[in-house]
Structure 1
Amino acid sequence: MSKENNQNTPKKPRFSSWWVYGVIIALILGFQFFSGSTFSTTKKTTTSELQEYLRNGDIAKIVIIRNAGQAKVFLTEEALQKEVHRDVADKPMLPSSGAVPQYVLDYGDLQNFENDINEIKKENNLDTIVDFDTESNILGDLLLSLLPFALIIGIWIYLMRRMSSGAGGGAGGQIFNIGKSKAKLFDEKTDTRTSFKDVAGLEGAKEEVQEIVEFLKNPDKYTSLGGKIPKGALLVGPPGTGKTLLAKAVAGEAKVPFFSLSGSDFVEMFVGVGASRVRDLFKQAKDKSPAIIFIDEIDAIGRARGKNNFTGSNDERENTLNQLLTEMDGFGTNTNVIVLAATNRADVLDKALMRAGRFDRQIYVDLPDLRERKEIFEVHLRPIKTAETLDLDFLAKQTPGFSGADIANVCNEAALIAARKEKKAVTKQDFLDAVDRIVGGLEKKNKIITPDEKKTIAYHEAGHATVSWMLEHAAPLVKVTIVPRGQSLGAAWYLPEERLIVRPEQMLDEMCATMGGRAAEKVVFNKISTGALSDLEKVTKQARAMVTIYGLNEKLGNITYYDSSGQNEYGFTKPYSEETAQKIDQEISKIIESQYQRAIKLLEDNKDKLTELAERLLEKEVIFKDDLEKIFGKRPFDKEDDQEPATVNGHEAKKEETTENEEDKSKVEE
């Protein structure tokens, strides 16, 4: 039969259980309806008419229904021939199970009603039968008693049908389908619109996943040479670098079914549910192969097993992980199902999950470099209405250390700032203000600061600027401000050099510049304040890293106590002795104090310039690189090929901020 004939054939109506319920209800109502006196000739009468009929000798029998307060009147055969009773003389339309009365009335007080009848009978010497009876509606009473149970059962059936039909929030949320997978299936024709064109940068990662796409599109190309399709690829990298976006692009490019879910979707309060969902997920994927399974934040179920499990609370998670390991290792070479996973905590994943044969490839998605940031800006600027042709190289240079998500936030924030200023298009200055807003926070010009505090803040920030200007390896200064922003009271903004390796002299110069704020307070006021908390936190971390991680201390030598597996954090003992701990503390303190004294000496030698810079800062509140050049002269360490940030409307680009806060609050933005 052709498709057209199939389409023209009328479809038979589907059977529904609601028809059965409807028929039962109709039968009950009909029985009640027909069993009554609706279709009989019974007529309602009054007490006075009854007494008159009784005196005339028309009544053969009166049946008093005590529990209903009603009396039924049966006429004699002679009375039925009279004209006055013609309306009730006809036979009933439907047969009845018993005798049908001709009249019925509602009496008031039973005693009075009975006395009146007996009195009339005695006066007229009548033999009318007076009988007493009680009526019971068996069906009605039965329905009334069963109604609560029927209502409860009906509600229960309704809820169960709703949950089993998917109205209860998806397959995983149903009481009968709780073991079903909660993965969302993206249709390759409609849902997955993302392609590799939408993923800027990440060239190395894209190459790896493009090969996976090629596996799915043309598997024979590889299997014909004896190769096997990889079973899994793990995307690892800091938050916001585009791991999930890359997986979406794979789904869009491969044109295959794409199952997406989070690692937490396997977790449930019921025992065994996680493992059941894993089985169901892989069963669905195999049925639709070739397919891709993407598990975001896999560390939710993939943590290393048996590590300090004192309470047994993670047994269910371990069962889920065991099932995942079994499913991944149980794939045949011809199933064409590939598992993609993403995490920023690869160090805590189980070793069995990371081995070859499960996740054959680990793709590291790093923070974008200068060229990649430019490409990311190009992608996110497409929907932005700009007033001019933006210098993307300039914007990329002002955002070192920004992830793809951060850059997207910069573009969105710039558009919001332009809209707030009633602009018709976004300008370059809006992007610079957006970087300021994201890195440092919102300006708080209405914050109440006393003149003495403001002077201290000005000298503190001037100290940072002066020391960093005098040191070769310190980051180039962009601007200094004493306008409160976010949680900070003042900030010195730098544009740090992007380095792959860092030398000891570079770290020491940065530490010296960071201590310049407290050193300036000591040199000028001979007092120190709590405003340097963020500086102390930063230099302490740097000094500790030099001693315990990078092996840059001569006294301790070439040794590190860093554990890349992340297992040390669960231990109860330090990986060194108490004597070594004392040495570490001494060396950390020695490094910090030496840089503090170095900063004090630099500031004492340039105290007049420090004072001039602080006074200008108090006057203008915000000063730029040009102001420092007027006071200190050209910085001797600047490279000739370095491009200085362009000034736009009196502002310049900025990135790294060192902030000082009220009392014990502080923040360092890097």
Structure 2
Amino acid sequence: MAKENNTSPKKPKFNTWWIYGIIAVMLIGFQFFGSGNFASTKKANTSELQDFLRNGDIKKILIITNTKQAKVFLNEEALKKDVHKDVADQAFSMSATATPQYVVNYGDQQNFEKTIYAIKDQNTSLDTEVVFDTENNVFMDLVFTLLPFILIIGIWIYLMRRMSGGAGGGAGGQIFNIGKSKAKLFDEKTDTRTSFKDVAGLEGAKEEVEEIVEFLRNPDKYTSLGGKIPKGALLVGPPGTGKTLLAKAVAGEAKVPFFSLSGSDFVEMFVGVGASRVRDLFKQAKDKSPSIIFIDEIDAIGRARGKNSLTGSNDERENTLNQLLTEMDGFGTNTNVIVLAATNRADVLDKALMRAGRFDRQIYVDLPDIRERKEIFEVHLRPIKTAETLDVDFLAKQTPGFSGADIANVCNEAALIAARKEKKAVTKQDFLDAVDRIVGGLEKKNKIITPREKETIAYHEAGHATVSWMLEHAAPLVKVTIVPRGQSLGAAWYLPEERLIVRPDQMKDEMCAALGGRAAEKVIFGEISTGALSDLEKITKQARAMVTVYGLNDKIGNLTYYDSSGQNEYGFTKPYSEQTAHTIDTEISKLVEEQYQRAIDLLSENKDKLKELAERLLEKEVIFKDDLEKIFGRRPFEKDQLLDAEEAANKEKLSKVNDSAEEEGENKIEPKTEK
């Protein structure tokens, strides 16, 4: 059967403004026609009225006392005269007796009456009738009586419609929709276009959430075997690692409605609003199931209840959390609504929120390693016009500890730097400048520095470079500069080894390298300056962590005073005695001073090389690893992390070549070694 062509025009949609327009037209019509101001009536002045009266043309004068208006009715002989031709033609088309031919507005009624009667007394033959009356328009009186009330009611209705969100900002934004959910809905057909291809790295996390996608696409596969679809998954990790992006990719791959909002969207100044918004959110999600609810920064409402013993708990936040717990544990098992949440403060979340049956899975999204950083770079480099010789592996090695958001920022900053330099493509140096810009801040070459200060800065940075070069576990040096950048007067860039666990010797070497700057000032000038503030802050925190957190001190022993639940934040007392506090302070100071003295000894032994390095730094302002190798030679212990990685890759390639050579009966290739 053929489909009918729907060619009929659409009917106009009813609008309440039409009613307001009709009322206005009616009011205007009654204003013009309700008081007898018909087209057949002509206005005249009092002089013309007196002339008409002396000539005997007037049959009746109707004086309306309340409107100060006189209606003049002409007799039949007067209507035949030429002077009244205009009103006579219209009068014959209507009722001549009902409609006056002239209307006269007078001023003082007493004077007006005296004039009329005086003319009648002078002309006794006049039979003009003078009648007094009042004129009342019942409809207009009613309208003007009710008009103020109509206006007040109309304004009230308009304001209520605005407050209910009909014209002022959507659901949840106004007073009568205050309890509605503020979640933004991404429709599966238009908005959710992010896929797992847009998420580089995060292999372990993607495996977890891919199964959630499979739950939403094909739930019968799991429910038919008696399994239950998980109700929630919690994404935990540092900021910028891609938790929100991963959740959007889940929605895009599953092709289901995706409700996205922040934990702070539930918080409002009105009591009970948060719980109401939770109910409305889950109601909308159930109506559109299968669907996904994503709550970013869930720690805003999911913080453990009853923690703050000093000021009491936040009842509104707790009510919101209670409602969220009820809703997550209250659906049926087959409603196909999955809750995803993200936070970087999983340690402060309520235990009831973390139990199985609510957030069944906790997916840790960690900072990317070197291989994952390469994949992330490849994603963010797609829209950027780069040089053909750009080495992505090198960029991944130069950005340890960078999150996905940091890498995106590096790519964008490199493109801006290349454009600022009028380049046609983004090169390797632009990316290095972008990393320096993000890590150290903007260069300030025009900053006023005295020669004495510049020399002090040069020896300070040369001290860092020298000590780090001499210590086995210190991070390999990449670059040293004495050009002011950000808030620092000089900086040294290192390439730290990506470790999963850290040993005491490694931590001590790092502390010694950080104290190399102040030690160099002491060795060369015999005095120290305030330039080591950031170094002192770093090593003090590190020493305190060794003693109080990681249990790496012999006197304190295998104890830790770290509380992952955050309970110590609200306590009045420390978790250790005054004697232990004194011991902790002593051990921290002892640890720092030992490494400071160690740095002084190292620099004193290599004082000539330190001076040579500082002079080269004063001359060039920026030096690299090659400059240190010319002065100190190669590092006296194992090779750098980069060389190890390259050597391992080369060995892997050689093993593959040898395996294939053995199969074909050819000679093996021996690796080259440096002497």
Instruction: Look up the equivalent residue of 2:120 and give its one-letter code.
Output: K
Offset at residue 224 of structure 1 (A): 2.4
Could you tell me which residue of structure 1 aligns to residue 48 of structure 2?
49
Q: Is the 8 A contact 1:441 1:485 kept in 2?
A: yes
TM-aligned CA distance change 1:322 to 1:74, over 3 Å:
same
Matched, 1:225 2:225: yes
TM-aligned CA distance change 1:413 to 1:85, over 3 Å:
closer
What SS does the aligned partner of 2:261 have?
A: strand
Instruction: Look up the equivalent residue of 1:72 and give its one-letter code.
Output: K
Instruction: Look up the equivalent residue of 1:299 and give its one-letter code.
Output: D
Offset at residue 35 of structure 1 (A): 3.0
Count of aligned pairs between the two proteins: 644
* Superposed CA offset, 1:238-288 (max 9, x none): 000010111111111112222211112212222222111211211222222
* Superposed CA offset, 1:126-148 (max 9, x none): 56444555545554454445444
Offset at residue 384 of structure 1 (A): 1.0
Could you tell me which residue of structure 2 aligns to residue 343 of structure 1?
343
State the distance in 1 between where 2:120 and 2:94 align: 34
TM-aligned CA distance change 1:442 to 1:209, over 3 Å:
same
* Superposed CA offset, 1:55-80 (max 9, x none): 23333433444554433223345545
Offset at residue 82 of structure 1 (A): 5.4
Within a 5 Å distance, the mapping from 1:123-162 to structure 2 comes to 123-125=122-124, 126=126, 128-162=128-162
Q: Is the 8 A contact 1:479 1:623 kept in 2?
A: yes
Offset at residue 331 of structure 1 (A): 2.0
State the distance in 2 between where 1:253 and 1:358 align: 23
Q: Is the 8 A contact 1:39 1:93 kept in 2?
A: no
TM-aligned CA distance change 1:210 to 1:644, over 3 Å:
closer
TM-aligned CA distance change 1:511 to 1:83, over 3 Å:
closer
Bigger CA drift: 518-527 or 230-239? Answer: 518-527
Offset at residue 493 of structure 1 (A): 1.4
TM-score normalised to structure 2 length: 0.89
Could you tell me which residue of structure 1 aligns to residue 361 of structure 2?
361
Could you tell me which residue of structure 1 aligns to residue 71 of structure 2?
72
Could you tell me which residue of structure 2 aligns to residue 512 of structure 1?
512
State the distance in 2 between where 1:35 and 1:219 align: 73
Matched, 1:424 2:424: yes
TM-aligned CA distance change 1:610 to 1:81, over 3 Å:
closer
Bigger CA drift: 623-632 or 160-169? Answer: 160-169
State the distance in 2 between where 1:606 and 1:463 align: 10
State the distance in 2 between where 1:576 and 1:92 align: 114
What SS does the aligned partner of 2:176 have?
A: coil
What SS does the aligned partner of 1:643 have?
A: helix
Q: Is the 8 A contact 2:306 2:312 kept in 1?
A: no
Instruction: Look up the equivalent residue of 1:355 and give its one-letter code.
Output: R
Could you tell me which residue of structure 2 aligns to residue 253 of structure 1?
253
Offset at residue 310 of structure 1 (A): 5.4
TM-aligned CA distance change 1:312 to 1:584, over 3 Å:
closer
Q: Is the 8 A contact 2:57 2:78 kept in 1?
A: yes
Offset at residue 347 of structure 1 (A): 1.0
Could you tell me which residue of structure 2 aligns to residue 651 of structure 1?
none
Instruction: Look up the equivalent residue of 1:544 and give its one-letter code.
Output: R
Unaligned runs of 5+ in 1: 647-670
Could you tell me which residue of structure 2 aligns to residue 538 of structure 1?
538
State the distance in 1 between where 2:73 and 2:433 align: 101
Within a 5 Å distance, the mapping from 1:225-374 to structure 2 comes to 225-308=225-308, 314-374=314-374
Q: Is the 8 A contact 1:166 1:174 kept in 2?
A: no
Instruction: Look up the equivalent residue of 1:623 and give its one-letter code.
Output: I
Q: Is the 8 A contact 2:74 2:101 kept in 1?
A: yes
Could you tell me which residue of structure 1 aligns to residue 597 of structure 2?
597
TM-aligned CA distance change 1:517 to 1:16, over 3 Å:
closer
Offset at residue 22 of structure 1 (A): 4.7
Q: Is the 8 A contact 1:231 1:338 kept in 2?
A: yes
Could you tell me which residue of structure 1 aligns to residue 489 of structure 2?
489
Q: Is the 8 A contact 1:292 1:338 kept in 2?
A: yes
Matched, 1:214 2:226: no
Q: Is the 8 A contact 1:275 1:320 kept in 2?
A: yes
State the distance in 1 between where 2:92 and 2:184 align: 67
Within a 5 Å distance, the mapping from 1:9-28 to structure 2 comes to 16-28=15-27
Instruction: Look up the equivalent residue of 2:484 and give its one-letter code.
Output: P
TM-score normalised to structure 1 length: 0.90
Identity of aligned residues (%): 83
* Superposed CA offset, 1:290-337 (max 9, x none): 211111111111111112265567211111111110011112221111
Unaligned runs of 5+ in 2: 647-675
Task: Provide the alpha-carbon RMSD of the alignment.
Answer: 2.6
Bigger CA drift: 319-328 or 220-229? Answer: 220-229
* Superposed CA offset, 1:358-386 (max 9, x none): 00100000000111111111111111111
Bigger CA drift: 393-402 or 55-64? Answer: 55-64
Instruction: Look up the equivalent residue of 1:635 and give its one-letter code.
Output: R
Offset at residue 150 of structure 1 (A): 2.8
Greater relative CO (CA pairs within 8 A, separation 6+): 1
TM-aligned CA distance change 1:418 to 1:177, over 3 Å:
same
TM-aligned CA distance change 1:71 to 1:8, over 3 Å:
closer
Offset at residue 411 of structure 1 (A): 0.6
Q: Is the 8 A contact 1:285 1:337 kept in 2?
A: yes
* Superposed CA offset, 1:13-53 (max 9, x none): 65555555555444444444443444463332333332222
Bigger CA drift: 150-159 or 526-535? Answer: 150-159
Offset at residue 116 of structure 1 (A): 3.3
